[in-house]
Chains A and B, each alone.
Chain A
Amino acid sequence: MFRRYMRLLRVRLRASSLLAMQYQADFLLDGLISVFWMASALVPLFVVFQNAQRQIEGWSFGESLLVIGWFTLLQGILEGAINPSLQGVVEHIRKGTLDFVLLKPADAQFLVSTENFLPWRALNLVAALIIFGYGFHLIGRAPSLPGVAISLVLLGTSVLLLYSLWILTVCAAFYVVKVDNLTYLFSSIFDAARWPASVFRGVLAFVFTFVIPLSVMTTFPAEALLGRLPWTALVWAILGSLLFAFFSRRMWLHSIGRYTSASS
């Protein structure tokens, strides 16, 4: 069962790569744009920290760079692996072609989640590593080994959270038909994750911790790298993301159950 799905995933990855190569001009432009986006994401940080001694809420320039690094990495995953496929679902729902997906002998959520990848976004991983390197260079020490291990675990939980949130957004598409802009809404909210969570206070702090757990996704791994993440936070992140994943899966099954083809 597991092996079959792995093979399916491989086939689909290859198909997307071929598709991406087919339009070469687009392919190059895509690459250029991802590089540009990453660079532009850094500009606000430089503006904030023009005065190099400044700290925001206890985060120095180097430490904030770690948050940006995680943001870049997750953005790459979001835009390269999650967004394109799930945008496809919205299209399927509108055109009524989701029926064909549902008829296939594999899990529908798996099928729609692996429909399309943008291989160029892998560049974000390289950029993130460079940002991490520069950040630690500024801080003046290397991350501890357990810190790295914990942050990798947190990378898993972050991706799971991101994916679950996306599935929930897509479930909304079953109820409101015209939702191409939900993608836009989602990515603009995700943008808040580029800043250390302690920046946000009051209502925003509550929302970004419990409703849309952005702070868990980027600030926690950065703190883990710095070796100052409390153990309880790690446990909560794992439990929380599993809960989110479970909830989004139930919602997906529920929405699919309610789905009546658009064409009929």
Chain B
Amino acid sequence: MSVRGTLRALPTLLRVGVSEAVAYRAEMLVWVLGTTMPFISMALWTAVARYEPVGRYDSHEFVRYFLATFVVRQMTGAYAAWQINFEVRQGTLAMRLLRPISPLWSYAAENLGTFPLRLFLVVPLTLFSVSTLGTRSVPGTAWGWGFFLLALVGGWLITFLVNVFVGSLSLYIESSNRIMDLWFAFFLVCSGYLYPVELFPPVLRGLLDWLPFRYQIGLPVELMTNAHGFTEALGLLGRQWLWVALLLGLSILSWKRGLKRFAAYGG
């Protein structure tokens, strides 16, 4: 399908995604409740910092950080890998392939469709953070906002593209869910989701700058809480989008080559 055709179909796809999210709202609520880990981290770290600050983080700073983490996690979530795995195994991927538009677009639209619902949680929480902890809970400058939004988009793209890449591996092996679990474990440890990346020992911190995980959660959170100056933020954003480009190439390649092997068994 042509580029113009794809662009014309996108709004409809997104609308379908939103309706689907609304239809399964109970399920979504369970998913959201399952991402309460930032609050547990918050309880833990404020307890650690109660008597003396850790690095530049005192109790307040930790609360701010983990509220931002929750917000960013909501806005950068994707679950396409599980969808792809399921549909490859059930053979229902064939249905998607019959449509004149790449399934990748419809996965993206479905994953993005949950956004409006998530905003109902994200916006009040952000407002709460600003009202109790001050305006430093959101970017303070115009470029700060621009960078933050860019980092959110980048973070989502990395998450989604990794999902597509790992999901497409299920076209080569029976199921790639376990690989996704492995990725997820790395993600938890390295992304800044459980604790700010800064708190890592210095040796590892340099390594984290070059791995994709930090750019899924850590960078948007840091930009939301004004942790970096202009040049530093620009450098980190550059690395994030380098990962986006790399993963875009990798995931599309493996998806296209994998599809040639797809035989719709089980269907």
**Contact assessment for A188 and B35 in the assembled complex, using a CB-CB cutoff below 8 Å:** yes
Q: Which of A37, A47, A181, A200 contacts B34 (CB 8 A)?
A: A181
Interface majority SS on A: helix, strand, loop or mixed?
helix
The reply to whether the CB of B250 lies closer than 8 angstroms to some CB of chain A is no
The reply to whether the CB of B120 lies closer than 8 angstroms to some CB of chain A is no
Residues facing B in A36-54 (CB within 8 A) are 36-37, 40, 43-44, 47-48, 50, 54
**Contact assessment for B34 and A48 in the assembled complex, using a CB-CB cutoff below 8 Å:** no
The reply to whether the CB of B3 lies closer than 8 angstroms to some CB of chain A is no
The reply to whether the CB of B143 lies closer than 8 angstroms to some CB of chain A is no
**Contact assessment for A178 and B44 in the assembled complex, using a CB-CB cutoff below 8 Å:** no
Contact with A along B191-208 (1 / 0, CB 8 A): 000110001110000000
Among the interface residues A25, A40, A182, A204, which one has the most CB atoms of the partner chain B within 10 A?
A: A40
The reply to whether the CB of A201 lies closer than 8 angstroms to some CB of chain B is yes
Interface majority SS on B: helix, strand, loop or mixed?
helix
**Contact assessment for A178 and B185 in the assembled complex, using a CB-CB cutoff below 8 Å:** no
**Contact assessment for A33 and B195 in the assembled complex, using a CB-CB cutoff below 8 Å:** no
**Contact assessment for B201 and A201 in the assembled complex, using a CB-CB cutoff below 8 Å:** no
Q: Which of A23, A36, A50, A178 contacts B182 (CB 8 A)?
A: A36
Contact with A along B150-184 (1 / 0, CB 8 A): 00000000000000000000000110001001100
Q: Which of A47, A48, A54, A181 contacts B27 (CB 8 A)?
A: A181
Number of interface residues of A (CB under 8 A): 34
**Contact assessment for A189 and B201 in the assembled complex, using a CB-CB cutoff below 8 Å:** no
The reply to whether the CB of B36 lies closer than 8 angstroms to some CB of chain A is yes
The reply to whether the CB of A211 lies closer than 8 angstroms to some CB of chain B is no
The reply to whether the CB of A262 lies closer than 8 angstroms to some CB of chain B is no
Q: Which of A23, A26, A33, A43 contacts B189 (CB 8 A)?
A: A43
The reply to whether the CB of B43 lies closer than 8 angstroms to some CB of chain A is yes
**Contact assessment for A33 and B47 in the assembled complex, using a CB-CB cutoff below 8 Å:** no
The answer to whether residues A199 and B34 also contact, given A29-B178, A36-B185, A40-B189 and a CB cut-off of 8 A, is no
The answer to whether residues A199 and B44 also contact, given A40-B185, A189-B36 and a CB cut-off of 8 A, is yes
The reply to whether the CB of B33 lies closer than 8 angstroms to some CB of chain A is yes
B37 CB contacts on chain A under 8 angstroms: 188, 191
Pairs A–B under 8 Å by Cβ, sample size 30: A23-B174, A25-B173, A26-B178, A33-B182, A40-B186, A40-B189, A43-B189, A43-B194, A48-B44, A48-B195, A50-B199, A56-B44, A56-B47, A57-B47, A176-B26, A178-B26, A182-B30, A184-B30, A184-B34, A188-B34, A191-B40, A192-B40, A195-B40, A195-B44, A198-B47, A199-B47, A200-B43, A201-B43, A201-B47, A204-B39
